[in-house]
Amino acid sequence: MDYRDKLVLAPMGTLPFRMLAAEYGADITYGEEIIDHKFLKCKRVTNESLGTTDFLEKGTDSVVFRTCPEERGRVVFQMGTSNAVRALKAAEIVIANGDIFEYEDFRRIKDATGAASVMVARGAMWNASIFSTKGKIPWEDVKREYVRKSILWDNDIKSTKHTLKEMIMHHSCLELPEGKAVIKCDTSADIA
């Protein structure tokens, strides 16, 4: 994978969020960091009904990492390890990460740091259309699309709720009816 001159989604999203960010223009989308010990306890399973490849915690149906063919070539699986020093010594490409809240910040931070590419976490979580060259679209539209994708990919309800709560907290308030309703949700059907 070429890491130069790319708009990168930080390691924070499960499959629906990564697909959302990619749809708006992210070139590379990192998966949530998974610790090596945890990954070693996973088994790889093809999910025929969703068309995904799942890494499940052995002996359970708990999804640790889910990906799909459309992500091939742009998803990065981030593994946490206690042996990072060696990996860092070998690193040649630097990706600047942090404080990007508008599309224009990608260029500004890249120029200021001289980094090969730029990565965004919170700015994308609050409005994933930050990656769009056409400018951000209203966050409510992004939220609706995120819910649609979460249902489509059978995302873990805790993960969906967490992302929705972050969006609502940033743009509105969890004490309002919508926020309270999200907190009460137990299933994807409730979220819909």
Ligand X SMILES: Cc1cc2nc3c(=O)[nH]c(=O)nc-3n(C[C@H](O)[C@H](O)[C@H](O)COP(=O)(O)O)c2cc1C
Exposure on the CB side of residue 120, measured as CA atoms within 13 A: 30
Q: Judged by CB under 6 A, which stretch of 65-73, 92-100, 104-112, 179-187 contacts ligand X?
A: 92-100
Distance of CA 64 to the CA centre of its chain: 14
By CB under 6 A, residue 122 contacts ligand X: yes
Which of 96, 121, 142, 164 binds ligand X (CB under 6 A)? It is 121
Nearer to ligand X, 53 or 159 (CB): 159
Which of 95, 125, 128, 130 binds ligand X (CB under 6 A)? It is 125
By CB under 6 A, residue 10 contacts ligand X: yes
Exposure on the CB side of residue 14, measured as CA atoms within 13 A: 27
Distance, in Å, from the CA atom of 176 to the CA atom of 167, rounded to the nearest integer, reads 13
Instruction: Provide the minimum distance between the beta carbon of 102 and ligand X in the complex, in angstroms, as a whole number.
Output: 12
By CB under 6 A, residue 104 contacts ligand X: no
Which of 22, 100, 109, 191 binds ligand X (CB under 6 A)? It is 100
Instruction: Provide the minimum distance between the beta carbon of 135 and ligand X in the complex, in angstroms, as a whole number.
Output: 18
Residue 26 · residue 133 · CB < 8 Å:
no
Distance, in Å, from the CA atom of 90 to the CA atom of 86, rounded to the nearest integer, reads 7
Q: Judged by CB under 6 A, which stretch of 40-48, 63-71, 87-95, 96-104 contacts ligand X?
A: 96-104
The string of DSSP letters for 48-79 reads TTTTEEEEEETTS--EEEEE-GGGTTTEE--E
Which residues contact ligand X (rule: CB under 6 A)? 10-12, 32-33, 78, 97-100, 120-123, 125
